[in-house]
Chains A and B, each alone.
Chain A
Amino acid sequence: MLEAYPDNRLSRILLWSFCALVMAFLMLPTMVVVPLSFSSSNLLEFPPRAYSLRWYETLFGSATWMAALRTSLILGALTAMIAVPLGLLACISINRLGGKAAVAIQGVLLTPSIVPGILLAIGLFFVLAAQHLVGTLFGVLVGHVVLAIPVACVVLLPALARFDWNQVQAARSLGANWARAIGGIIVPQLQISLLSATLMAFLTSLDESVISIFVASGQNSTLPKLMFLSLRDQIDPTIAAISTLWTVIVVAVVLIVTLRQKS
Chain B
Amino acid sequence: MTVLADTALAADARRERRFFLSLSLPALFIVGLAAILPIVWIIRQSFLTTGGEYTVGNYEKVLSSGLTWSALVTTLELSLGTLAICILLGTPLALALASARPRVANLLMAFVMLPLWTSILVRTYGWLVLLRRDGLINAALTGSGLTAEPLPLVYNFTGTLIGMVHYMLPLFLLPVYAAMRDIDANLIRASASMGATLGQAIRTVILPLSAGGIFSGSIIVFIYTIGFFITPAVLGGGKVNPLSIRIERTLSTFQDWGSASVLGILLLILMALMGVMFLAARRLIAGRKVGTAHA
Residues of chain A at the chain B interface (Cβ within 8 Å): 1-5, 8, 11, 15-16, 18-19, 22-23, 25-33, 36, 44, 46, 82, 86-87, 89-90, 92-94, 96-97, 101, 105, 108-109, 111-112, 114-120, 122-127, 130, 142-143, 145-146, 149, 178, 203, 206-207, 209-210, 213-214, 224, 227-228, 231-232, 235, 239-240, 243, 246-247, 250-251, 254
Contact = CB atoms under 8 A, between A and B. Distances in A.
Given A86-B26, A89-B24, A124 B34 contact: yes
24 contacts: A4-B189, A5-B192, A15-B92, A22-B89, A23-B108, A23-B111, A29-B122, A29-B126, A29-B166, A30-B118, A33-B129, A44-B135, A46-B135, A96-B20, A97-B17, A109-B31, A116-B227, A116-B244, A119-B42, A119-B268, A209-B119, A209-B230, A227-B125, A231-B124
A197 to B, nearest CB: 13
Contacts of A210: 229-230
A231 B121 CA distance: 8
A250 B201 contact: no
Chain A's interface: helix, strand, loop or mixed, by majority? Answer: helix
B115 A30 contact: yes
B96 A115 contact: no
A89 B37 CA distance: 22
B183 interface: yes
Contacts of B206: 1
A227 B121 contact: yes
A240 B231 CA distance: 17
B80 interface: no
Contacts of A119: 38-39, 42, 227, 264, 267-268
B117 interface: yes
Contacts of B56: none
A243 B119 contact: yes
A33 B35 contact: no
A255 to B, nearest CB: 10
Interface residues of B, number: 86
A101 B21 contact: yes
Nearest to B131: A29
Contact of A243 (B122, B166, B261): B122
A12 B155 CA distance: 37
Interface of B: 17, 19-24, 26-28, 30-39, 41-42, 45, 89-90, 92-93, 95-99, 108, 111-112, 114-115, 117-130, 132, 135-136, 166, 169-170, 180, 183, 185, 188-189, 191-193, 198, 201, 206, 223, 226-227, 229-230, 233-234, 244, 247-248, 251, 257, 260-261, 264, 267-268, 271
A232 B30 contact: no
Contact of A92 (B20, B180, B264): B20
Given A26-B114, A92-B20, A228 B96 contact: no
B134 to A, nearest CB: 8
Given A11-B198, A22-B93, A235-B129, A124 B123 contact: no
Given A5-B192, A118-B244, A243-B119, A97 B20 contact: yes
Contact of A251 (B23, B117, B120, B267): B117
Given A4-B192, A118-B247, A149-B27, A228 B230 contact: yes
A28 B130 contact: yes
A196 B119 CA distance: 19
